[in-house]
């Protein structure tokens, strides 16, 4: 009989135990960290909106900012004609083999540091929700990655990128406030552009009837344009 200590079956079982003790435990810790930071993000977002409203209280009431908690994993901020949706994914991720995170010494020293939770930031037009234009487009303007040690980086549009600090930067209330301010600042500068004539010169009867009845002709800030033109490489 084959020695049980050296059998393939024993080796596989040992690997299962090791993975449960290490990888699965790390993923649970990452989830806990991400959820904790998402809760702080909600509080910070609510506070930031109140602060801004205090500064603009004597201006047009239609530009007043609003905050809405959309449940365990989502929060919403209405910023004038924009809506920012903050969404935490309930799962934990590792990066594809071509991602630049693998080139950091921090991850090269310990692969477990690469497992991250994700908080995504989406930018929509507020009228898309107001008029229930279900075909309107929203844009992912940033993703916050948080690992087991609460190290983080932001991947996104323009000034929101900060991969170079992943090995040293710890997420906290101050960092969250900075991320929120940058996200709102970007959304306010990300204007709605008139789509090129050739992309809208033909419309179906159904589209026009839908527009007349419900205002649902598809709209997006860069409809017909290359949104990637605002990207900055990591």
Banded pLDDT at 131 (limits 50, 70, 90): confident
Q: Is residue 113 part of a domain?
A: yes
112 and 105 in contact (C-beta within 8 Å)?
A: no
pLDDT at residue 223, as a whole number:
47
pLDDT at residue 199, as a whole number:
64
Can you tell me the mean pLDDT for 17-41?
94
Range of the domain at 171: 4-191
Question: How many residues are given for the chain?
Answer: 234
What is the average pLDDT score of the chain?
83
Pairwise CA distance, residues 124 & 181, whole Å: 17
pLDDT digits (tens, 9 = 90+) for 50-68: 999 999 888 877 788 999 9
pLDDT at residue 191, as a whole number:
74
Q: Is residue 232 part of a domain?
A: no
Q: Is residue 158 part of a domain?
A: yes
pLDDT digits (tens, 9 = 90+) for 24-33: 999 999 999 9
pTM value is 0.81
Into how many domains does the chain fold?
A: 1
Residue 229 has pLDDT above 50, yes or no: no
Residue 164 has pLDDT above 80, yes or no: no
pLDDT digits (tens, 9 = 90+) for 190-219: 777 666 777 666 666 666 666 655 545 556
Pairwise CA distance, residues 41 & 21, whole Å: 30
Q: Is residue 61 part of a domain?
A: yes
Q: Is residue 9 part of a domain?
A: yes
186 and 215 in contact (C-beta within 8 Å)?
A: no
Q: Is residue 198 part of a domain?
A: no
Winning range, highest mean pLDDT, from 43-47, 127-131, 230-234: 43-47
Q: Is residue 223 part of a domain?
A: no
Dihedral angle sign, alpha carbons of residues 24, 28, 34, 35: positive
Say which residue, 40 or 81, is predicted with more confidence.
Answer: 40
Residue 152 has pLDDT above 90, yes or no: yes
Q: Is residue 204 part of a domain?
A: no
Dihedral angle sign, alpha carbons of residues 45, 47, 50, 52: negative
In the chain, the percentage of residues whose pLDDT exceeds 90 is 53
């Amino acid at each position: 009989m084959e020695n049980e200590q050296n059998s393939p079956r024993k080796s596989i079982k040992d690997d299962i135990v090791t993975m449960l003790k290490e990888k699965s435990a790390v993923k649970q810790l990452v989830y806990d960290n991400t959820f904790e930071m998402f809760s702080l993000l909600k509080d910070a977002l609510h506070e930031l909106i109140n602060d801004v409203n205090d500064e603009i209280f004597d201006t047009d009431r239609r530009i007043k900012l609003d905050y809405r908690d959309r449940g365990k994993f989502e929060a919403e901020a209405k910023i004038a004609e924009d809506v920012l949706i903050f969404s935490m994914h309930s799962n934990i991720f590792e990066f594809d083999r071509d991602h630049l995170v693998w080139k950091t010494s921090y991850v090269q020293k310990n692969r477990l540091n690469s497992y991250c939770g994700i908080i995504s930031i989406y930018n929509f037009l507020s009228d898309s929700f107001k008029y229930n234009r279900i075909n309107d487009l929203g844009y992912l303007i940033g993703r916050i990655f948080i690992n087991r040690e609460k190290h983080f980086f932001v991947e996104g549009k323009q000034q929101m990128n900060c991969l170079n600090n992943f090995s040293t930067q710890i997420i906290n209330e101050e960092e969250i406030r900075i991320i929120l301010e940058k996200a709102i600042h970007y959304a306010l500068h990300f204007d709605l552009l008139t789509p090129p004539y050739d992309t809208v010169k033909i419309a179906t009867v159904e589209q026009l009837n839908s527009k007349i009845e419900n205002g649902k002709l598809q709209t997006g800030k860069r409809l017909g344009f290359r949104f990637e033109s605002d990207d900055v490489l990591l």
